[in-house]
């Protein structure tokens, strides 16, 4: 499987592809930090059911974990980017016809799929790191400009950064797998992105707006909770278990389809 | 020894039978032409042999291994299926490196195949800047990467200029002479005739012919094309020759007479006897194209008998 990962990484490490991925992640990290700090320092509060966005309170912002609060706040935006790029690279194998060469070269299709996931996990880790770095670089001046105290931000610095990084990374992996699964099923990046983004921004928001409908298990809510290290709606442990369930279901579905389906056009 | 053997190989796509109990043996070493009209099942056969799709009946083996375990022969097979497939934003070299890593092939082979197909020097350019012919060369390079015993090439000279066609033709001949087996699927029958040692013709998923190219060429017949000096005499000349026992068919202003070079003088005398002077008398042979059309019944496989092909499935 290592050979498949190395092969996939060779194809993924295209400057333009990485520039788009990392650039969007950096843009959202900087943008959300700026908006969040301005919003929190002004005493604003988000409307309930806003799609996947969770801004901290002023007290939380001024706590040691406040430095990385932007990562959790932008988690679903990063998620949409991750879903889109996993879907794009997966669907490109089908649209370019490359899948024919890949399957002819490595007829065992499970390792092909696993290798692709492995390579995408590596690049997602790099994207998460970019997000964390830009978050730190943006948060400090934004907080200073907004008059938010950063005195506690140095406390347990490594642990705070590592925890935020890990939580975001786990959430993004699930987002990515979702993009991969829809791309495998649809063999189209556009369809995969439309379904993924449409679900989070429209379907899930609509479900949440239905008063009595339980929404704690929904994908966006779950992944937002994972990225935040738990939320009021979903405890961290529960969110992780739910996320694991989504990943397992997604990978099994993608695996069965990849293994069983004919490779035509 | 056979490099590919199929026994009763069948593949159906819903109501369409793409391969119908195909039984054929392809000899090892040399260049094998796989031809048939559109929708005849050529691509379906290739895809089954490469493990891309599964048959609905029958069995097959490639390089001595059953198609049920394509992994056992995948490393010994190089393929160019339909159009070359690469990541457009990556360089030719990076695309080949990616495939080499997948197949655990030493990266030195990348340089070797780039030289072999004449792309060294352009190898660091992104594939999206390549012409159709250059992409085709890159596709052949990818197929050659594992130095395979069996090469399966679908329309290998597609998009190449005349010099490129001659170059690739020589490459395929060399590979065949050096003990490799090259299966070439093509609609360009002149290419097949120029390169192949063995020919397989399929139609509607059924085997029409499989044998040495020399055997096919034995089927060629000589005929003599004649034209009278005055086109107004075409009908009179045809009637005169027919009444004298010659088999004559009119093709525009030319009459095609089923006869060899040894009867050309008799034909000329017969025309003169009818008071007609010939302005043209040429002895010709059937081309592979004519033999092919005779074998396959001059039909477009996708349109004939209501067997409309499903795009992307039967080709």
**What residues of B are in contact with residue A104 (Cβ under 8 Å)?**
50-52, 74, 77, 79, 81
Nearest to B71 among A99, A108, A264 (CB): A108
- For residue B306, the model assigns a pLDDT of 45
B270-312: pLDDT as tens digits: 999 989 999 999 988 877 777 777 777 765 555 554 444 433 3
Helices (H), chain B: 42-49, 71-74, 92-102, 108-116, 132-144, 162-177, 189-195, 213-218, 234-243, 264-273, 288-296
Interface membership of B258 toward A (CB under 8 Å): no
Q: Tell me the residue length of chain B.
A: 315
B250 CA: distance to closest CA in chain A (Å): 45
Alpha-carbon dihedral sign for residues B121, B126, B129, B135: positive
Q: What is the ipTM of this complex?
A: 0.83
- For residue B97, the model assigns a pLDDT of 95
CB contact under 8 A, A10 and B82: no
Mean pLDDT of all residues in A32-36: 87
B208-264: pLDDT as tens digits: 889 998 888 777 788 899 999 999 999 999 999 999 888 998 888 899 998 888 888
Least Cα distance to B3 among B214, B210, B143 occurs for: B210
Residue with token string 């399929």: B202
Alpha-carbon dihedral sign for residues B177, B178, B184, B188: negative
- For residue A46, the model assigns a pLDDT of 56
Biggest alpha carbon–alpha carbon distance for chain B: 76
CB contact under 8 A, B87 and A11: yes
| Residue in B41, B72, B85 to test binding to A, most A beta-carbons within 10 Å | B85
* pLDDT-derived band at A45, boundaries 50, 70, 90: low
Least Cα distance to A24 among A116, A128, A122 occurs for: A128
Interface membership of B310 toward A (CB under 8 Å): no
Mean pLDDT of all residues in A109-126: 95
**Token pair in block for residue B284:** 């010709």
B84-93: pLDDT as tens digits: 888 888 999 9
- For residue B300, the model assigns a pLDDT of 58
Interface membership of B82 toward A (CB under 8 Å): yes
A189-240: pLDDT as tens digits: 889 889 888 887 788 878 877 766 566 788 888 888 888 888 777 889 999 9
| Residue in B43, B84, B98, B129 to test binding to A, most A beta-carbons within 10 Å | B98
Interface membership of B51 toward A (CB under 8 Å): yes
Nearest to A101 among B71, B142, B311 (CB): B142
If DSSP codes are grouped into helix, strand and coil, which group holds residue B212? strand
**Token pair in block for residue B216:** 């096919």
**What residues of A are in contact with residue B50 (Cβ under 8 Å)?**
100, 103-104
Nearest to B99 among A92, A101, A265 (CB): A101
Helices (H), A147-214: 157-186, 189-198, 204-209
**Token pair in block for residue B283:** 């002895």
pLDDT at residue B166 tops 60: yes
Interface membership of B129 toward A (CB under 8 Å): no
CB contact under 8 A, B312 and A264: yes
B14 CA: distance to closest CA in chain A (Å): 13
**What residues of B are in contact with residue A8 (Cβ under 8 Å)?**
98
B305 CA: distance to closest CA in chain A (Å): 24
CB contact under 8 A, A3 and B97: no
For A98, nearest residue in chain B (alpha carbons): B85
pLDDT at residue B23 tops 50: yes
Interface membership of B79 toward A (CB under 8 Å): yes
**What residues of B are in contact with residue A4 (Cβ under 8 Å)?**
102
For B142, nearest residue in chain A (alpha carbons): A101
- For residue B310, the model assigns a pLDDT of 38
Helices (H), B146-231: 162-177, 189-195, 213-218
- For residue B309, the model assigns a pLDDT of 40
B84 CA: distance to closest CA in chain A (Å): 8
- For residue A119, the model assigns a pLDDT of 96
What's the CA gap between B283 and A77, in Å, rounded? 76
Nearest to B82 among A16, A97, A108 (CB): A97
At A215, give phi and psi (nearest 5°). Answer: -125, 5
Please state the separation of Cα B113 from the chain's center in Å. Answer: 23
- Contacts (Cβ under 8 Å, ≥6 apart) of B79: A100, A101, A104, B46, B50, B143, B151, B152, B153
How many A-B residue pairs are in contact by the CB < 8 A criterion? 89
A135-162: pLDDT as tens digits: 999 988 988 888 888 888 888 889 999 9
**Secondary structure (H, E, C), B262-315:** HHHHHHHHHHHHCCCCEEEEEEEECCHHHHHHHHHCCCCCCCHHHCCCCCCCCC
**What residues of A are in contact with residue B312 (Cβ under 8 Å)?**
264-265
DSSP secondary structure code for residue A47 in this structure: P
**What residues of B are in contact with residue A11 (Cβ under 8 Å)?**
87, 90, 94-95, 98
């Amino acid at each position: 499987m290592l050979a498949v990962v190395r092969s996939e990484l060779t194809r993924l490490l295209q400057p333009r592809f990485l520039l788009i991925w990392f650039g969007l992640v950096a843009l959202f990290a900087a943008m959300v930090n700026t908006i969040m700090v301005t919003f929190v320092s002004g005493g604003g509060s988000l409307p309930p059911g806003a799609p996947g966005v969770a801004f901290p309170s002023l007290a939380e912002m001024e706590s040691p974990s406040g430095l990385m609060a932007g990562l959790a706040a932008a988690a679903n935006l990063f998620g949409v980017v991750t879903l889109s790029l996993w879907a794009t690279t997966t669907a490109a194998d089908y649209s370019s016809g490359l899948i024919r060469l890949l399957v002819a070269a490595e007829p065992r299709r499970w390792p092909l799929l696993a290798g692709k996931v492995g390579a995408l996990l590596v690049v997602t880790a790099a994207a998460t790191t970019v997000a964390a770095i830009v978050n730190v670089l943006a948060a400090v001046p934004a907080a200073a400009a907004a008059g938010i105290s950063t005195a506690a931000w140095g406390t347990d610095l490594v642990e705070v950064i590592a925890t935020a990084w890990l939580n975001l990374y786990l959430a993004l992996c699930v987002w990515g797998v979702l993009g991969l699964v829809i791309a495998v099923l649809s063999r189209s990046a556009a369809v995969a992105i439309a379904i993924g983004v449409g679900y989070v921004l429209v379907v899930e928001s609509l479900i949440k707006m239905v008063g009595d409908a339980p929404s704690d298990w929904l994908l966006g809510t779950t992944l937002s909770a994972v990225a935040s290290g738990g939320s009021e709606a979903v405890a961290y442990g529960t969110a992780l278990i739910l996320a694991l369930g989504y990943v397992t279901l997604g990978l099994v579905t993608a695996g069965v389809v990849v293994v069983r389906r004919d490779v035509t056009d | 020894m056979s490099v590919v053997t199929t026994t009763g190989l069948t593949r159906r796509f819903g109501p369409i039978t793409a391969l119908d109990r195909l039984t054929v043996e392809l000899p090892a070493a040399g260049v094998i032409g796989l031809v048939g009209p559109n929708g005849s099942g050529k691509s379906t056969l290739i895809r089954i042999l490469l493990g891309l799709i599964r048959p609905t009946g029958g069995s097959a083996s490639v390089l001595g291994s059953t198609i049920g375990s394509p992994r056992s022969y995948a490393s010994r097979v190089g393929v160019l299926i339909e159009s070359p497939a690469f990541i457009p934003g990556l360089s030719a070299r990076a695309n080949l490196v990616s495939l080499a890593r997948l197949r655990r092939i030493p990266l030195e082979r990348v340089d070797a195949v780039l030289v072999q197909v004449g792309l060294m020097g352009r190898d660091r350019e992104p594939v999206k800047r390549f012409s159709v012919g250059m992409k085709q060369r890159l596709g052949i390079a990818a197929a050659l990467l594992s130095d395979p015993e069996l090469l399966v090439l679908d329309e290998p000279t597609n998009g190449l200029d005349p010099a490129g066609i001659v170059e690739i033709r020589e490459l395929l001949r060399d590979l065949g002479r050096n003990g490799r087996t090259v299966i070439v699927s093509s609609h360009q029958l002149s290419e097949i005739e120029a390169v192949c040692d063995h020919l397989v013709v399929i139609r509607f998923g059924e085997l029409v012919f499989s044998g040495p190219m020399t055997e096919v060429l034995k089927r060629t017949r000589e005929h003599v094309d004649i034209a009278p000096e005055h086109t107004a005499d075409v009908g009179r000349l045809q009637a005169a020759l027919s009444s004298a026992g010659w088999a004559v068919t009119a093709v525009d202003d030319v009459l095609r007479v089923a006869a060899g070079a040894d009867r050309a003088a008799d034909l000329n005398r017969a025309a003169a006897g009818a008071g007609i002077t010939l302005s043209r008398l040429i002895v010709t042979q059937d081309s592979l194209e004519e033999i092919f059309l005779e074998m396959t019944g001059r039909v477009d496989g996708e349109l004939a008998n209501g067997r409309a092909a499903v795009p992307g499935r039967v080709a």
